[in-house]
Structure 1
Amino acid sequence: MNKTFKTYAVIFVIVMIVLALLEVNKKETTDWRKNFDINEKSPFGLFVFNNEAKNLFKNNLKKIEQIPYEYYSQHKKDPHNIIVIENNFDKESWNKILTQVSEGSDAFLMVARMPKEISDSIGYYDSEISFEEENVLKLTDKKYQNDFAKLDKFPSGRGFSFIKPKVEVLGKTVEKKNTDQANFIKVKFGKGYIYAHTEPLFLTNYYLLKPGNVKYAQDVFSYLPDRETIWFVSSKSSTSRFFMRFVLSNPALKYAWWVLLGGLILFIFFNAKRKQRIVPVTEPLRNTSLDFVKSIGNLYLQEGDFHDMMAKKAQYFLNKVRMDLLIDTQNLDEEFAKKLQLKTGKPMEMINEAITLVKKAQDPYASVMKEDLTRINKLLDEIFK
């Protein structure tokens, strides 16, 4: 087991221990976002309403995930009920809904902020009517006077600030310090009706699970006639199929994902520090001097000029004697021989033989054989060895 592997192993164990401690000490946090998602079990999701909707509408309910424009472009429908709960559509989709209403359908719009296409068509605009932290929703019909919904968590506080003639007010927001304000109206549009409720929060999980609020929800939807009802559900549920959303929504998978990412980052970090680019092998410059000497030697050998080669060898030897041994080489006499013998420590016989061959090499008229060249080369190299 090498040192690098031990380092990675220790880091991995430390990370796993830290994550385990975080998981043990983790406190579950509540998601209070107003998502209005039929698959969400968070306080402001529509999971409970989605499960009870079929019974509420006597199995006449059909949930549609398409936008209204696409759905009505593909289907021709008789008069029916339309439900929209806090959903954003394009202009063409809202116009399709208005067309269906004008032909006899009823649209139940439960949105905190009324779409401009609807507001412009019916001529009624919603606004901020309450700034209290608690609201009570009641219906104006006397038979429902004992049914209400109390909103104690993040009410939108929106409603209709003014009411025109021929508009029926079906529900109000009731507060202790303020006068009642309309939040649920019914408007005639062509052959059908538009029901507009500006506080869809009472349909979420948090409020439907509270005692009494279910009865208020039943009363609100009782205004719709008993016929086929189409509910355009939020398209958020389709995005939940994306694998990363599923992974991040599951605590175990989420921590596994973060551990994987952390491990990859550590791996890249340590490898980037310990590794570098491969250094290319640079071939050393070739010494061509030896090749040159060999080429010159071969040239002389082919020409057979042993005398010239012997003269150059003698010249090189005498130069080395002058430079290295500091002996004058002008006269190659007995005194020169003694000095050379003292400086090199070689036998006098070898010194005298070498001097004889050097003098022969310097004589331009001497007859030099191959054996003489070989012998002088061997002797001179031996003297300086």
Structure 2
Amino acid sequence: MNKNFKIYAVIFIVVMIILALLEVNKKETTDWRKNFDINEKSPFGLFVFNSEASHLFKNKLTKVDKTPYEYYSQRKKAVHNIVVIENDIDSESWKKILTQVSEGSDAMLMASRIPKEISDSIGYYDSEISFQDENVLKLTDKKYQNDFIKLDKFPSGRGFSYIKPKVEVLGKTVEKKNADQANFIKVKFGKGNLYVHSEPLFLTNYYLLKPGNVKYAQDIFSYLPDRETLWFVTNDTKVSRFFMRFVLGNPALKYAWWVLLGGLVLFIFFNAKRKQRIVPIVEPLRNTSLDFVKSIGNLYLQEGDFHDMMAKKAQYFLNKVRIDLLIDTQNLDAEFEKKLQLKTGKPVEQISEAIALIKRAQDPYASVMKEDLTKINTLLDEILK
């Protein structure tokens, strides 16, 4: 068996074991997002309400997955009920809803933030926010005084702080530290009625599954007449037609799918790397100048002519001073020393020592040692830095 294949097999098995251990030890996390999705079983989905809605409305409920504008533009309807639960509806659709209500239909709108088109129609109320973690929803009608819901998980706390005389308050939010605020109102609009509830959270799975809470929901919808009811659901609640929806909808199959894709990618990567054409090695051109310099250096070293090498170093240094620093080097006197010190910024002692070594290198009768060559070389390089 190929050695590389064994390595890949071991890596794959280790990865699968790690994923299996993670899957076994994985803790289920609760999705507390307020999605109001009729297909979601999460705490704040509408799966339970969707399942019981037909019974609640005596089998006279029709779910519409079109916008109100599209629906009413295509057909004429007799008077009926309209239900909207936390749905983002465009302004033209709101106009269609208000038109239906003015002609005799009743609309039940449940949204934490009411659009301006509706607020303008029911009396220019203001919404206010309470920051209490818990509150109680109650109805004002005495026959419903024993039916209430306690909201103990993320209530929106919104209500109506300014109520005009023509607006009838049907429900309130009761809190310990704040005054009661209206959350359920009724407004006469043309021949019909608008019902607006500012806390749709009571219709979600989390609250409907608690004992006794269903009665409050039944009381709310009892204000609608016994007739055909249209429930406009959000368009994104349609069942996906993507061919992978079953696989991606199942966590175990989804992980298996991603592992399979990852394995294929690794196989293609390593297989392509193993079979790619060998790239020939191109030797770079040799720098013969460096060899030449080394040869000359070895020649001088063998000859031991330190005086000549020291003179050439001094000549090179003075040439650089003339070209780079623009200082005349004809006379290596005190004036030259001062100019060199000013332009290089080096200590005066260092400049004086360098000039003394240069003069010794220029003297053909001076005795020069190897240490002198090393010293002048280091000193002049330091000055020119």
Matched with 2:51 is: 51
Deviation at 1:275, TM superposition (A): 4.4
Distance 1:28 1:194 in 2: 41
Deviation at 1:211, TM superposition (A): 1.1
Stretches of 4+ aligned residues off by more than 6 angstroms: none
After superposition, residues 218-229 of structure 1 pair within 5 angstroms as 218-229=218-229
TM-score, normalisation: structure 2: 0.69
Deviation at 1:243, TM superposition (A): 4.4
Distance 1:71 1:182 in 2: 32
Deviation at 1:144, TM superposition (A): 0.5
Matched with 1:129 is: 129
Distance 1:214 1:129 in 2: 25
Corresponding residue SS for 1:42: coil
Deviation at 1:3, TM superposition (A): 2.2
Gaps of 5+ in 2: 281-385
Q: Is the contact between residue 135 and residue 150 of structure 1 (CA under 8 Å) also seen in structure 2?
A: yes
User: Is the aligned partner of 1:118 residue 2:118?
Assistant: yes
1:70-122 alpha-carbon deviations (Å, 9 max, x no partner): 11111110110000001111111111111111111011000110012212333
After superposition, residues 317-336 of structure 1 pair within 5 angstroms as none
Residue type at the aligned position of 1:63: K
Residue type at the aligned position of 1:164: K
Q: Is the contact between residue 134 and residue 151 of structure 2 (CA under 8 Å) also seen in structure 1?
A: yes
User: Is the aligned partner of 1:77 residue 2:77?
Assistant: yes
Deviation at 1:268, TM superposition (A): 4.3
Matched with 1:191 is: 191
Change (3 A) 1:268 1:116: farther
Distance 1:224 1:159 in 2: 21
Matched with 2:289 is: none
Distance 1:239 1:277 in 2: 49
Give the percent of matched residue pairs that are identical in Structure 1 and Structure 2. 84
Matched with 2:174 is: 174
The structure with the larger Rg is 1
Distance 2:188 2:275 in 1: 76
Deviation at 1:169, TM superposition (A): 0.4
Q: Is the contact between residue 114 and residue 125 of structure 1 (CA under 8 Å) also seen in structure 2?
A: no
Distance 2:91 2:148 in 1: 34
Q: Is the contact between residue 113 and residue 126 of structure 1 (CA under 8 Å) also seen in structure 2?
A: no
Q: Is the contact between residue 122 and residue 167 of structure 2 (CA under 8 Å) also seen in structure 1?
A: no
Corresponding residue SS for 1:259: helix
Q: Is the contact between residue 126 and residue 158 of structure 1 (CA under 8 Å) also seen in structure 2?
A: no
1:218-253 alpha-carbon deviations (Å, 9 max, x no partner): 000010011110001122221544345543331112
Deviation at 1:128, TM superposition (A): 2.9
Residue type at the aligned position of 1:7: I
Matched with 2:258 is: 258
Distance 2:129 2:44 in 1: 22
Distance 1:125 1:258 in 2: 51
Gaps of 5+ in 1: 281-385
Residue type at the aligned position of 2:181: Q
Q: Is the contact between residue 43 and residue 205 of structure 2 (CA under 8 Å) also seen in structure 1?
A: yes
Across the two proteins, how many residue pairs are aligned to each other?
280
CA RMSD for the aligned pairs?
A: 1.8
After superposition, residues 81-100 of structure 1 pair within 5 angstroms as 81-100=81-100
1:178-235 alpha-carbon deviations (Å, 9 max, x no partner): 1100011001111111100010000001000101110000000010011110001122
Distance 1:13 1:2 in 2: 17
Residue type at the aligned position of 1:163: I
Distance 2:69 2:10 in 1: 58
Stretch deviating more after TM superposition (106-115 or 11-20): 11-20
